[in-house]
Structure 1
Amino acid sequence: MFATLILPIAPIFLLIVLGHLLRRGGIPSFEFWNLNDKLVYWVLFPCLLFNKIAGLDFSGGELGELAIAIYAGFGAAILFSLLVQPLFRTEKPLWTSILQGCARHNTFIALAVGEQVFGGEVLGKAALVTALLIPVTNIAVVSIMAVTLAKRDGGNLFAAVLKDLARNPLLIAVGLGFVCNGLGLETIPVVTKMTTILGAAALPIVLLCVGANIRIRAMAADLRSTFVAVFGKMVVFPAGIVLAGLAIGLDPDLFLAAMLFGASPTAASAYTLARAMGGDAPAMAGIVTIQTAIAFVSMPATLLLAQYILAL
């Protein structure tokens, strides 16, 4: 049974390894990978999100129950990181990297695994999870980091945070998707087809980018912080989803979709955010790298456990 889950996931992680090898070999160039990150972040992934969310069917009243389950996991991860904060009281930048490691998710890997393992039905539900998580994750994590690391911008801090959120392309794509869905514009001539084509390119390209941004040397970073972040993301986060999902009797497809995000490693973009906001970037790179490697085994194991729970 484990093999039936790990085999579909294997190509995903092989793409990540390939991306790492290509960048190390300078193929096609280092500049290409730096620019490719921007292409995915500003164009391809927003198109995927917009396309999936605009076409989702909300008539089944699933949004509320799914929100309870996924926010329970996210809230548990945030609470766990806050509880361990006293251990890193004098290392605020390091703690913000632990926060990201516990609470953020790699949407690209979650969606790619969902498509390979469960097919279109669960993938559509996973896009709904994305719509719920992306705004809350960005607002909560960026705001907590800004407050924790505040030291230079003074009274302009709040305005700076709002500005960053307002121009976040993922938030904009999610918002536009909800607007079009609410207006009954699930299919828009030309636009829907264009975003479908661009969205289809997002997952394979971004997996190569994830691999290209992995830093093997960073794995030697503080192992204490890495262990805390791994436990928070890969144990506490999914445990919160399981407990909430069982308590409300969540639909099996929604349960599996939520677990994809609970089991996924932290976002590769967390390194960029840590560097931009004054967090501990080397520690963040180590957390991303180790979580991504562990996820090759932990994701199928977690999903197998979820299927076992659903069969009870």
Structure 2
Amino acid sequence: MFTTLILPIAPIFLLIVLGHLLRRGGIPSMEFWNLNDKLVYWVLFPCLLFSKIAATDFSGVHLGGLAAVVYSGFGAAVLFSLLLFFLFRTERPLWTSVMQGCSRHNTFIALAVGEQVFGSEILSTAALVTALLIPITNVVVVCLMATALAKKDGGNLFVSVFRDLARNPLLLAVGLGLVFNFFGWSEVPVITDMTAILGAAALPIVLLCVGANIRIKAMSADVKATILCVLGKMVVFPAAMAFTGLAIGLEPELFMAAMLFGASPAAASAYTLARAMGGDAPAMAGTVTIQTALSFVTMPATLLLAQYLIGG
């Protein structure tokens, strides 16, 4: 059973390894990878989210139950990181990286694994999970980091936070997708086809970028913090999701879509945010690198356990 999940996931992680090897070899160039990150973040991935959310049929979806499962995992991870702060009196920059490592998810890997293991039909459901998680994750993480690190813009913390959220392309894509879905504009000529084509290119390219952003040297960063982040993201987060999903009897397809995000490693963009806002960037890079490597084993194990729990 474990092998049946490992084999579909293996190509995903081979793409990640390939991206890392290409960057280290300077192929095609370091400038290419820096620009590719921006292309994925500002164009390709927003198009994927928009096209999937705009076309998803929400009728009959137990949206309240799915939201409860998703938010229970995220909330448990954030509370776990807060508990760590009070228990270990962690320095604030390091704590913000621990908090990100516990609570942020790699949407790209979750979607790629979902498509590879369960087929493309799960992408619409997974995009719905993304629509629920991305806004709350960005709002809570940015607000907590800004508060902990006392980052203010002209003396007004809320202006800084609102500005960062208002220009987030993923949030904008989710919002536009929901608007188009609400008005039934899922088949708009040219726009629908263009975003679908660009979205189809997102997952393979972004997996190469994930690998290109892995920093092996950063793995020597704070060991205790990294272990706690692994525990928070790969145990607390999915365990809370599974408990809530089973308690409310969430439908199997929705349950497995949610567990994809609970089992995924921390997002590579957490390093960028840590560096930009004054968090502990080396610790964040180490956490992302180690979680990404471990997820090759932990993701299939978590999904296999989830299937067993729902009798799949």
TM-score normalized with structure 1 length: 0.98
- Distance, in Å, in 1 between the alignment partners of 2:122 and 2:51 is 16
- Distance, in Å, in 1 between the alignment partners of 2:178 and 2:211 is 31
Letter in 2 for 1:74: F
Letter in 1 for 2:77: A
Aligned to 1:116: 116
Letter in 2 for 1:36: N
C-alpha RMSD of the superposition: 1.0
User: Structure 1 unaligned runs (5+)?
Assistant: none
Identity %: 76
Q: SS state of the match for residue 311, structure 1?
A: coil
After alignment, is 138-147 or 57-66 more displaced? 57-66
- Cα gap change, 1:72 to 1:18, in 2 (>3 Å): same
Listed one character per residue, the Cα deviations across residues 170-229 of structure 1 (whole Å, up to 9, x for unaligned) are 000000000000001111111110011100000000000000000000000011000000
Aligned to 1:99: 99
Aligned residues: 312
- Distance, in Å, in 1 between the alignment partners of 2:35 and 2:118 is 32
- Distance, in Å, in 2 between the alignment partners of 1:165 and 1:150 is 17
Listed one character per residue, the Cα deviations across residues 40-96 of structure 1 (whole Å, up to 9, x for unaligned) are 000000000000000011111421111011111111101101111124535100000
The Cα shift of 1:154 comes to 5.8
Aligned to 2:73: 73
- Distance, in Å, in 1 between the alignment partners of 2:90 and 2:17 is 36
Q: SS state of the match for residue 156, structure 2?
A: helix
Q: SS state of the match for residue 188, structure 1?
A: coil
- Distance, in Å, in 2 between the alignment partners of 1:190 and 1:221 is 48
Tell me whether 1:307 sits opposite 2:307 in the alignment.
yes
Letter in 1 for 2:249: G
- Distance, in Å, in 2 between the alignment partners of 1:9 and 1:90 is 36
Aligned to 1:288: 288
Contact 1:92 1:148 in 2 (8 A): yes
Contact 2:146 2:152 in 1 (8 A): no
- Distance, in Å, in 1 between the alignment partners of 2:98 and 2:128 is 26
- Distance, in Å, in 2 between the alignment partners of 1:152 and 1:283 is 23
Contact 1:54 1:180 in 2 (8 A): yes
Contact 1:49 1:173 in 2 (8 A): yes
After alignment, is 4-13 or 53-62 more displaced? 53-62
- Distance, in Å, in 2 between the alignment partners of 1:287 and 1:126 is 24
Contact 1:49 1:127 in 2 (8 A): yes
Aligned to 2:147: 147
- Distance, in Å, in 1 between the alignment partners of 2:260 and 2:61 is 21
Aligned to 2:209: 209
Contact 1:88 1:94 in 2 (8 A): no
Letter in 1 for 2:213: N
- Distance, in Å, in 1 between the alignment partners of 2:257 and 2:124 is 9
Aligned to 2:158: 158
Tell me whether 1:44 sits opposite 2:54 in the alignment.
no
Listed one character per residue, the Cα deviations across residues 265-291 of structure 1 (whole Å, up to 9, x for unaligned) are 000010000000000000000000000
Tell me whether 1:192 sits opposite 2:175 in the alignment.
no
Tell me whether 1:85 sits opposite 2:59 in the alignment.
no
Contact 2:97 2:283 in 1 (8 A): yes
Letter in 2 for 1:173: A
Aligned to 1:180: 180
- Distance, in Å, in 2 between the alignment partners of 1:172 and 1:276 is 21
- Cα gap change, 1:66 to 1:152, in 2 (>3 Å): closer
- Distance, in Å, in 1 between the alignment partners of 2:31 and 2:116 is 30
Listed one character per residue, the Cα deviations across residues 7-43 of structure 1 (whole Å, up to 9, x for unaligned) are 0000000000000000000000000000100000000
- Distance, in Å, in 1 between the alignment partners of 2:75 and 2:68 is 10
Letter in 2 for 1:111: L
TM-score normalized with structure 2 length: 0.98
Letter in 1 for 2:237: F
Contact 1:88 1:95 in 2 (8 A): no
- Distance, in Å, in 1 between the alignment partners of 2:41 and 2:121 is 25
Q: SS state of the match for residue 246, structure 2?
A: helix
